[in-house]
A and B are shown apart, each in its own frame.
Chain A
Amino acid sequence: MVQPVLEWQAGRVTAIRPETRQTKSFTFALPKWMAHRPGQHYDVRLTAPDGYQTQRSYSIASPPERLREIELTVERIPDGEVSPYLHDVLMQGDELEVRGPIGGYFVWDVRLGGPLLLVGGGSGVVPLMAMLRHRAAQHSTVPTRMLYSSRSAEDVIYHDELNGMAAANDGFEAFYTFTRQPPAGWTGYRRRIDAAMLAEVIKPFDKRARVYVCGPTLLVEAVANALVEMELPIEQIRTERFGPTGV
């Protein structure tokens, strides 16, 4: 199968939804929509009136089962160049140049099976959510655990939807850790993800786990190093570093 050429296209913003204080989800209708693999991303390009261009990558939050449109979830980095523009300037009905879907490395779909461990920090949950939404849409029961690090409960993106997925009792469990302010009465994890925490969450899967790690670069580094020390086969570990973003 020859791939169509990767082209920039104008995506029209059809909805903007706040997720948390720092994050918003944007729905784009795409004239040249193509089914993606969960975990893939789009590149977004801004062009200033003087011709200056800058681009960033954003993971697809929506599952491929959702046709003709994609959803991106973006964290606002206060001193950033692109994310404040998306948050503060872009409006419903506007167009934005995007190209994708991109990347065959950080992808999971139900055919790959499990057991699956998803580890995310902050907005790093976005591509993991595409995997979970796809898993749910396919009524998959692949044993899946997610370990998700946030500053506080208010910063958990997709919190209600994740709780709903966990309540479905279809083999998915979510584990949270809060690095700044755990909710009142919280008895779970309250520190950065470390080797001991990973060992606990991965336990039932042991060395069979397929692991996807995504988030700020330093978090991904720490998690990937811990997994390698646990002697998890390196081919089973996939990483997506977002750069110096957040957390």
Chain B
Amino acid sequence: MEKIVINPVTRIEGHAKITIHLNPDGRVSRTHFHVTQVRGFEKFTEGRPYYEMPAITARICGICPISHLLASVKACDEIMAVRVPPTAAKLRELLHCGQFIQSHALSFFHLSAPDLLLGMDSDPARRNVLGLLDKYPDIARDGIALRKFGQCVIQRLAKERVHPSWTVPGGVNAPLEPGAREEMLKELPGAKAIARRTLALFKSVVDEFQEEIENFGTDPTMYAGLVDHGGRLQLYDGRIRFMDSEGTVLSEVDTPASYADYIGEASLPDSYLKAPYYKPAGYAGGVYRVGPLARLNVADSCGTPEADHEFGEYHQRFGRVVQSSFQYHYARLIEALYAIEKAEMLLSDPSILGKHVRAKAGVNALEGVGIAEAPRGILIHHYRVDEKGAIQWANLIIATGHNNLAMNRSIEQVSRHFVDGSRLKEGMLNRVSAVVRAYDPCLSCSTHALGQTALRIQLIAADGTVTDELRT
């Protein structure tokens, strides 16, 4: 029996296992995507004061804590039934831009660029950010610089990079210093130049990936993402828009609290990751995707000049509704540019320096729902409290959850196309993990597990023996 173990290539955030089952003739019969580790936090939060939720939930994810913070404080705002001061809302959005920039930069340069630039079949030992640094030092340096810019935005606002406590229910806890604003505005053009360069680079290589584009989860699905009243891309606050695979808008969720009318949650066998679906279409037909690809599909425009230009070109090349999950990469880069432009707009608005940044109140409503886009897609925090403000129940729906069904399908599709059991090649399994990376799932937070874990792919022969295993 042949058994190859490829170990370790750490390029994914989270913990999951993919099993690929083969027919006796060595062809793929079916695939399974399981998320195996769970350390529930629901029990832990029961009875805690609601205003601790932002800090608690931000700790379930080290990669996009700010998205959790924002969804959580928005849910708390609702429990307090306050209107967040406009300056505070802008500052939160600015913080969110910083998060998108750093997260998208990480995803693209550290997790995906090695595959894209060094090649899917290149030496796995070098197919990482160090290999990239070796062969394309300028690109790798760009990646580091862009990520740093996003982190600096966060740091200047929140004074703390990883789990800022600056975002609080009712607003933020300190206004923006004029000096910090100046510094951000000074660094911004450099970041914008990187985003432009990277997009140009991506566009120059994208055509080399025809086979991947055609096989990386091209099954049409619905899409969901936040937009404003004008249909423009929104990251911090907006209405969830659902669109079908043809580009028809199916519905828009007016108030956060009514999300449950549109989103059902199914439990899957052998996986702790729940599978949300578009309720009106039912479980089988309601598969939708979220995240960069979905956001750029549902939005009519971005609302910032350069990103809109790229948005136009992107849709011209790949159609009004872009179906291939491979294009998550492309969409992510457009969004990075958008986030930089949006940050610039927010910083240029004089009211960003306003001093009134926090509304205070006690418990005025017993339920609160907060919805924001995380870099990987829609994030929903839903809490119920008693009159004293003690959490009675909490539900989080996370980007990777929304994508669960679609990701399962993509894995199956990629496996069928690239995996052939009679010949084992590293590049095949790498493509399977690459499709997972295209979705950029954040698995530790999807299962509310604490800490970092990894992806395992197993190839299982018809007689049940494991013939190959890859850990990333």
A joins B in a complex:
no
